[in-house]
């Protein structure tokens, strides 16, 4: 580590009135190791603090890590692959992916997203994309259809077209082309592809796979998989179990990714229905109706608690960061004065539209945990 960084580390520690002993404790090292980090190069040894140790110290001390400590010794891309995934739609997979990617782009990392999202494709077809100057505009987006796939997958796709379109009677082929048009277009685009996912990985610090069906692609390339669990949706729990089982069933020479559960919509026991609260406050409400409302609130609370118990009983470690419904509030506020087509969409991030919101804070905590604690 350069002497300038050693002096900066000591200056930050002393300005925060943190002793060497406490600093070492927060970095999970012994005092002698910490002192070596602050010792100038005149010493007989030159120890380098790990990224995780520095992150732990700054995080636990409430000090923002200076950009100087985030810079790496060389300019080689990190080549890390993450997937925030789910079989079930509507659980926030894509928005969370883009929010975390935008947070990393704000930290000057080179970030790419590979996606098979239908909304993304529809917006691209309409000529829409990220607004200039936003953090999302720093992200490079790639459609999975434009990447070279394995010959086995390509043969499988072509066989499905033959079986369901080409080999049909002439009078039925038009309907077959309509039903399997997406697969025909996929084969056509794959034939024009010039690079593989592995080519992207060596060019970027972080590549996100916004993909929910091609589990083999995730299993073969991801270093970390966060499976989304909506704490107010039992089907998302079943989906997560099926997704995890599918990933684990894939045979691959590469070491398995680190699997974690990411709990979203997490307001267990903390929020009751607004209409019930409003009606419950009205004077002159009969005891019978009041009791019915109270019973409905109890049932709602118990249902959420039961779902929470089921989630934590899964054979899947949970991330410490839990996402609340605060992002819905931030998006509603952003959309209030905008037309429908100008509202929050695939190419938006909370880091851009609501950087000081509680929801943006959750994104930053999730990003820190994924990158600095779990990878």
Q: Which tens digit of pLDDT belongs to each residue from 210-240? A: 998 889 999 999 999 999 999 989 999 999 9
- pTM assigned to the model: 0.80
For the segment 327-336, the average pLDDT, to the nearest whole number, is: 91
Query: Where in the sequence of the chain do the CATH 3.40.50.300 domains occur?
Result: 80-148+193-374
CATH topology of domain 80-148+193-374: Rossmann fold (3.40.50)
Mean pLDDT of the chain, nearest integer: 88
Q: Comparing 17-21, 64-68, 93-97, 189-193, which segment has the lowest mean pLDDT?
A: 64-68
Q: For residue range 252-275, list pLDDT tens digits in order.
A: 888 899 999 999 988 754 444 444
* Per-residue buried b or exposed e for 252-270, using 16+ beta carbons within 10 Å of the residue's own CB: eeeeebebbbbbbbbebee
CATH topology of domain 3-70: 434 Repressor (Amino-terminal Domain) (1.10.260)
Q: Quick one: which of 144, 177, 147, 150 has its CA closest to 162?
A: 177
Whether 42 has a pLDDT exceeding 60, the answer reads no
Q: Which residues pair with 112 in a beta bridge?
A: 140, 207
Rounded CA separation 306/319 (Å): 19
Q: 115: Cβ–Cβ under 8 A, 6 or more apart, which residues?
A: 94, 141, 142, 143, 144, 209, 210, 211
Going 158 to 159 to 162 to 163, the CA torsion angle's sign is negative
For the segment 87-111, the average pLDDT, to the nearest whole number, is: 93
Q: For residue range 147-201, list pLDDT tens digits in order.
A: 998 888 888 889 999 999 988 898 888 998 999 888 999 899 998 999 999 999 9
Query: Where in the sequence of the chain do the CATH 1.10.260 domains occur?
Result: 3-70
Confidence grade of residue 334 (pLDDT, cut at 50, 70, 90)? very high
């Amino acid at each position: 580590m350069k002497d300038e960084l050693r002096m900066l580390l000591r200056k930050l520690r002393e300005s925060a009135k943190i002793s060497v002993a406490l600093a070492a404790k927060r970095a999970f090292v012994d005092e002698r190791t910490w002192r070596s980090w602050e010792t100038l190069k005149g010493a007989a040894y030159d120890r380098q603090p790990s990224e995780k140790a520095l992150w732990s110290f700054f995080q636990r001390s409430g000090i923002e890590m200076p950009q100087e400590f985030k810079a790496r010794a060389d300019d080689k891309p990190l080549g890390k692959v993450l997937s925030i995934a789910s079989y079930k739609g509507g659980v926030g997979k894509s928005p969370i992916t883009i929010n975390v990617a935008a947070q990393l782009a704000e930290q000057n990392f080179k970030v790419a997203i590979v996606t098979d999202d239908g909304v993304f494709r529809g917006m691209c077809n309409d000529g829409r994309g990220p607004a200039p100057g936003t953090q999302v505009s720093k992200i490079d987006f790639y459609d999975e259809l434009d990447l070279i796939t394995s010959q086995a997958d390509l043969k499988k796709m072509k066989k499905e077209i033959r079986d369901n379109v080409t080999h049909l009677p002439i009078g039925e082929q038009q309907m077959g082309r309509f039903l399997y048009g997406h697969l025909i277009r996929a084969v056509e685009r794959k034939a024009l592809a010039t690079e593989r996912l592995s080519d992207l990985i060596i060019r970027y610090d972080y590549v996100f796979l916004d993909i929910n069906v091609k589990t083999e692609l995730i299993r073969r390339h991801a270093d970390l998989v966060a499976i989304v669990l909506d704490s107010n949706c039992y089907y998302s729990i079943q989906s997560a179990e099926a997704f995890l089982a599918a990933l684990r069933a894939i045979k691959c020479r590469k070491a398995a990714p680190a699997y974690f559960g990411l709990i979203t919509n997490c307001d267990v026991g903390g929020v009751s229905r607004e209409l019930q609260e409003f009606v419950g406050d009205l004077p002159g409400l009969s005891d019978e109706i009041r009791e019915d409302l109270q019973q409905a609130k109890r049932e709602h609370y118990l249902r959420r608690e039961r779902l929470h118990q089921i989630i934590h009983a899964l054979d899947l470690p949970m991330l410490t960061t839990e996402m609340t419904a605060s992002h819905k509030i931030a998006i509603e506020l952003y959309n209030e004065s905008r037309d429908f087509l100008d509202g929050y969409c695939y190419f938006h991030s909370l880091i851009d539209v609501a950087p000081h919101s509680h929801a943006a804070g959750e994104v930053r905590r999730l990003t820190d945990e994924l990158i600095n604690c779990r990878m």
